[in-house]
């Protein structure tokens, strides 16, 4: 796991690094400390990371812009901030977790636990997915996503209006931050249950989903039962 | 609100007019009124005034026009009124018949059937003084009221024809009627007295209770003087053994009247700040009543009105607030005072005073109300600023970051942690000490800044120095200003691990003080005005140095400078 810490106060940066090392031990391959997101941007452009720990002053107008930039990346983002009133808003953009300052190592552990957890859902469901497109950031409304298809290390997001956007995160990572109506129906698909009309059976426990957009997606055998429950509920 | 006031005034005036009408039911044209049915004025009775100046008893009878009050007061010197009456039926024991005279000469003698039955003053001296009109109730002895013809001769003396009150009357009738009527008049007078005392008390209340403004005291004196004058006015005369006793004290009334006028002139002088134009002028205006009255009371009053109006117009010219109120009050006063020369509402003067005082009372109350409101708003603003200052200190960004850093220091270097906690405590303590003040000595502000810098040293792992130049420590500044500037300076000018030098200096140019806070950090292109805390600084500066300050910031050779210029000499030093 490669972690990047963005924190301008040396003492706090040290603290995060030290505690992270204590908690994750050998799981960490590398920790990089940057003092501003601008600095980090250059690094992130050249290197892959898995987790970003970002100290943001969410009280300024700049804060949320930086946050949106961060969550559009392929890595998970944990926000560390003194302004806890902004936590709910931060969650809506799909951050992995929001940490208030000051924090204990127990709390940081909880955040790290989320990292590997595909099913862990946030208290406050994500409402927007930020996507980097042509040097700009656009926000997709989660309720307009019909399904997401895995495409190598990227994901293809299919929207209600038929458009497709590409996101840097893998399906796994997207799963972690999407709300509960999104289910991993297949190793290559995440589907939004709001858009599922019914199932088609091909016999021999091979099933397909029919979406309201008339598209048909495959369903993995293991997922079928789970999906049926979700569906009938 | 304004319409209500107008209606109230209208009602007031109408009510008083009616009261007046009720009290005096005298036929103006015929100045001889009769209130007993058994007495009649002989048709061919001889009503005349003898205009010869012969003081002897002269029974010259000739026919003239009806006596009118105007004739009586047009004659100066000694003159006579002759009237004949016929009693046509016997007058019962129960009736006490009297003559009720009003404003007949400054001194007079009354003869019924050529017998002296009453008098006023002393006609036989050479030194008859002009007097205020009074009622004379002269009893006609019962044995003089036989059936038949009777004569009435009144010898009277007018010192001058220049009387304040030109109306006169002679009435004959039942005692009780006259007494009752007088009591009714007295009621009105008493009401005026009470109202004026009330208004005077109100002004005194405001003087002691709200604000010790000289104008309140002066208006209270004015109302009080007029209340006393009104109290002394009941013109109730009892005729007994030829001597007229009156509760009317000319001399005292004059004194009260003059003092009242002085007070009113002083009020206008204070209100329109006449002393600012010139002291001699103000003194002259103030002293005018007492200087002119000995010469001519009438002229004194005219001059008085003119001076008041001149000051009011001056006030309108310089657009002093409340001038319009003063103008309307004065006009009401003048109008009501003049009325008594044209009608029988001789109490017009007092009515005028009452209207005048009430208008000014209203203005004073309104003024005080708005002052209270302004003060409350200023207090609110102050409290909000105090609140902001405290919040500044405990706002998330600063304290939570500091505590997070502290977490690390506690685990890594407990000894340093103690020092950091101490610095934090110092800053808190200093903040709560100064947050309630509008101005604090700069030495205290610099203490807060030092504590802050110490904390930031730990957080940024850097060294910060604060030096001062040309500062004695007693200079007064609003709290939190230098702190905000230095805090901003660190945030925008220094990355972590960069050392910083801060310099606070003072320069005096012309009548202004310029405080400069400079640092040797990088110039951040972020607009100075948008930085957090700048609004706080501006509000604080405006609160203490309204309009007389300036805040600028610009890059310097080796860093950044923030300059505060204050041009209010009176408040910059302790």
> Is B498 within 8 Å of B462 (Cβ atoms)?
yes
Is residue B527 pLDDT above 70, yes or no? no
- Closest Cβ opposite residue A82 in set B396, B407, B408: B396
Is B327 exposed, middle or buried, given 0-12, 13-18 or 19+ CB atoms closer than 10 A?
A: middle
**Planar angle of CA B213, B216, B221, nearest 5 degrees:** 130
CA dihedral of residues B335, B341, B342, B343 (deg, nearest 10): 90
Let me know: does A23 contact A48? Beta carbons within 8 Å: no
Please, are residues A187 and A193 in contact by the beta-carbon 8 Å criterion?
no
User: Taking a contact as any Cβ pair under 8 Å apart, which residues of chain B between 446 and 485 contact chain A?
Assistant: 458-461
Point out the residue among B396, B397, B460 whose CB comes nearest to the CB of A10. B460
**Highest mean pLDDT pick, A107-116, B70-79, B98-107, B285-294:** A107-116
Residue B256 has pLDDT above 80, yes or no: yes
What is the C-alpha separation between B86 and A99, in angstroms, rounded?
Answer: 118
Q: How far apart are CA B23 and CA B44, in angstroms?
A: 31
Respond yes or no on whether ipTM tops 0.90: no
Q: Determine contact: B565 vs chain A, CB below 8 A.
A: no
Out of B396, B405, B412, closest to residue A9 by CB? B405
Most B CBs within 10 Å: which of A7, A10, A98, as the mutation test of the B interface? A10
The answer to whether residue B413 neighbours chain A at the CB level (below 8 Å) is no
- In sequence order, the 6+-apart residues with CB closer than 8 A to the CB of B419 are B454, B458
Whether A10 sits inside 8 A of B496 (CB atoms) is yes
Nearest to B204 by CA among B376, B357, B373: B357
Do B404 and A103 make contact, defined as CB atoms within 8 angstroms?
yes
Nearest chain A residue to B398 by CA: give it: A82
Residues found in chain A: 233
Average pLDDT over residues B505-517: 89
**CB–CB contacts below 8 A, A to B:** 55
User: Quick one: pLDDT at residue B7?
Assistant: 64
Any CB–CB contact under 8 A between B497 and chain A?
A: yes
Q: What whole-number distance in Å separates Cα of residue B558 and Cα of residue A160?
A: 57
Geometric angle at alpha carbon B262, from B256 and B264, rounded to 5°? 100
Q: How far is A34 from chain B (nearest CA, A)?
A: 11
Ordered mean pLDDT values, 10 residues apiece, chain A (233 residues): 89 91 89 84 86 78 79 90 84 89 89 78 81 87 92 90 91 88 88 86 79 86 76 63
Q: Do B400 and A82 touch (CB under 8 A)?
A: yes
**CB-based contact (8 Å) between B392 and chain A?**
no
Q: Does B495 touch chain A (CB under 8 A)?
A: yes
> Looking at CA atoms only, how far is residue B395 from chain A in angstroms?
9
Say if the Cβ atoms of B397 and A83 lie within 8 Å. yes
Q: What pLDDT does residue A7 have?
A: 87
Contact B21, B12 (CB under 8 A): no
d(CA B437, CA B380): 14
CA–CA separation, B370 and A154 (whole Å): 69
**Residue B253: pLDDT over 60:** yes
Question: Cβ A15–B408 below 8 Å, yes or no?
Answer: yes
Strand partners, B136: B101
pLDDT at residue B461 tops 90: no
User: Model confidence at B441, in pLDDT bands (50, 70, 90)?
Assistant: very high
Residue B567 has pLDDT above 80, yes or no: yes
Please, what is the average pLDDT of chain B?
78
Closest approach of A115 to chain B, Cα-based (Å): 23
The pLDDT confidence band at residue B5, using thresholds 50, 70 and 90, is low
All residues of chain B having their beta carbon less than 8 Å from the beta carbon of residue A10 are: 459-461, 496-497
- What pLDDT is stored for residue A11 in this prediction? 87
Does the CB of B409 have a partner CB in chain A at under 8 Å? Answer: yes
Residue of A6, A21, A82 for testing the chain B interface, max B β-carbons within 10 Å: A82
Q: How high is the pLDDT of residue B194?
A: 92
Has residue B218 got a pLDDT over 90?
yes
How close, in Å, is residue A14 to chain B by CA atoms?
8
The arithmetic mean of pLDDT across residues B344-349, rounded, is: 64
Higher pLDDT, B216 or B146: B216
């Amino acid at each position: 796991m490669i972690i990047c810490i963005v924190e301008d106060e040396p003492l706090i940066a040290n603290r995060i690094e030290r505690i992270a090392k204590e908690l994750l031990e050998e799981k960490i391959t590398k920790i990089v400390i940057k003092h501003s997101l601008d600095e980090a941007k250059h690094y992130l452009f050249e290197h892959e990371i898995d987790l970003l720990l970002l100290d943001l002053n969410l009280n300024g107008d700049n804060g949320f812009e930086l946050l949106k930039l961060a969550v559009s990346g392929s890595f998970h983002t944990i926000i560390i901030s003194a302004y806890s009133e902004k936590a709910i808003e931060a969650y809506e953009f799909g951050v992995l977790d929001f940490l208030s300052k000051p924090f204990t190592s127990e709390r940081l552990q909880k955040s790290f636990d989320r990292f590997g957890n595909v099913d862990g859902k946030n208290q406050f469901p994500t409402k927007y997915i930020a996507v980097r497109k042509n040097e700009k950031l656009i926000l997709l409304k989660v309720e307009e996503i019909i399904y997401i298809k895995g495409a190598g290390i990227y994901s293809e997001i299919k929207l209600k209006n038929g458009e497709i956007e590409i996101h840097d995160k893998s399906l796994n990572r997207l799963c972690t931050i999407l709300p509960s109506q999104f289910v991993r129906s297949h190793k290559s698909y995440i589907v939004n249950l709001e858009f599922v009309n019914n199932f088609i059976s091909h016999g021999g426990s091979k099933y397909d989903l029919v979406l309201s957009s008339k598209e048909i997606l495959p369903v993995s055998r293991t997922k079928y039962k789970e999906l049926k429950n979700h569906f009938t509920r | 609100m304004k319409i209500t006031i107008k209606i109230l005034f209208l009602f007031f005036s109408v009510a008083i007019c009616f009261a007046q009408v009720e009290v005096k039911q005298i036929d103006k044209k015929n100045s001889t009124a009769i209130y007993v049915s058994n007495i009649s004025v002989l048709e061919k009775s001889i009503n005349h005034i003898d205009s010869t100046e012969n003081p002897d008893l002269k029974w010259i009878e000739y026919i003239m026009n009806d006596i009118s009050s105007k004739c009586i007061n047009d004659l100066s010197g000694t003159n006579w009124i002759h009237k004949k009456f016929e009693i046509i039926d016997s007058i019962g024991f129960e009736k006490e018949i009297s003559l009720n005279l009003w404003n007949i000469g400054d001194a007079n003698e009354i003869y019924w059937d050529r017998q002296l039955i009453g008098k006023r003053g002393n006609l036989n001296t050479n030194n008859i003084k002009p007097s205020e009109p009074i009622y004379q109730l002269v009893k006609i002895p019962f044995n003089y009221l036989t059936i038949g013809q009777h004569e009435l001769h009144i010898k009277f003396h007018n010192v001058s024809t220049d009387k304040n009150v030109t109306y006169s009357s002679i009435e004959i009738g039942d005692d009780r009627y006259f007494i009752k009527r007088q009591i009714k008049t007295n009621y009105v007078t008493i009401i005026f007295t009470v109202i004026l005392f009330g208004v005077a008390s109100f002004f005194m209340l405001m003087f002691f209770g709200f604000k010790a403004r000289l104008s309140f005291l002066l208006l209270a004196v004015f109302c009080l003087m007029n209340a006393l004058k009104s109290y002394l006015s009941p013109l109730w005369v009892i005729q007994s053994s030829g001597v007229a006793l009156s509760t009317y004290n000319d001399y005292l009334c004059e004194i009260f009247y003059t003092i009242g006028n002085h007070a009113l002139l002083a009020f206008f002088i204070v209100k329109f700040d006449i002393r600012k134009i010139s002291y001699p002028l103000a003194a002259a205006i103030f002293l005018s009543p007492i200087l002119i009255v000995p010469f001519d009371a009438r002229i004194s009053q005219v001059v008085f009105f003119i001076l008041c109006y001149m000051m009011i117009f001056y006030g309108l010219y310089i657009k002093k607030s409340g001038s319009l109120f003063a103008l309307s009050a004065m006009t009401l006063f003048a109008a009501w005072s003049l009325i008594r020369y044209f009608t029988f509402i001789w109490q017009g003067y007092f009515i005028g005073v009452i209207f005048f005082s009430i208008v000014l009372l209203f203005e004073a109350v309104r003024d005080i109300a708005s002052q209270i409101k302004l003060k409350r708003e200023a207090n609110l603003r102050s409290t909000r600023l105090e609140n902001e200052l405290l919040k500044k200190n405990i706002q998330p960004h600063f304290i939570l970051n500091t505590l997070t850093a502290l977490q690390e220091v506690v685990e890594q270097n407990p000894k340093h942690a103690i020092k950091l906690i101490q610095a934090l405590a110092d800053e808190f303590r200093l903040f709560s000490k100064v947050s309630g003040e509008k101005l604090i000595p700069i030495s205290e502000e610099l203490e807060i800044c030092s504590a802050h810098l110490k904390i930031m040293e730990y957080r940024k792992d850097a060294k910060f120095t604060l030096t001062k130049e040309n500062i004695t420590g007693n200079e007064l500044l609003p709290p939190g200003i230098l702190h905000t500037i230095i805090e901003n300076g660190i945030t925008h000018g220094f990355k972590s691990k960069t050392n910083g030098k801060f310099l606070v200096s003072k320069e005096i140019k012309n009548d202004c003080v310029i405080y400069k806070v400079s640092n040797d950090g990088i110039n951040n292109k972020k607009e100075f005005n948008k930085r957090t805390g700048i609004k706080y600084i501006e509000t604080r500066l405006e609160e203490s140095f309204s309009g007389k300050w300036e805040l600028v910031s610009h890059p310097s050779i080796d860093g950044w400078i923030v300059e505060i210029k204050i041009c209010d000499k009176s408040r910059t030093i302790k």
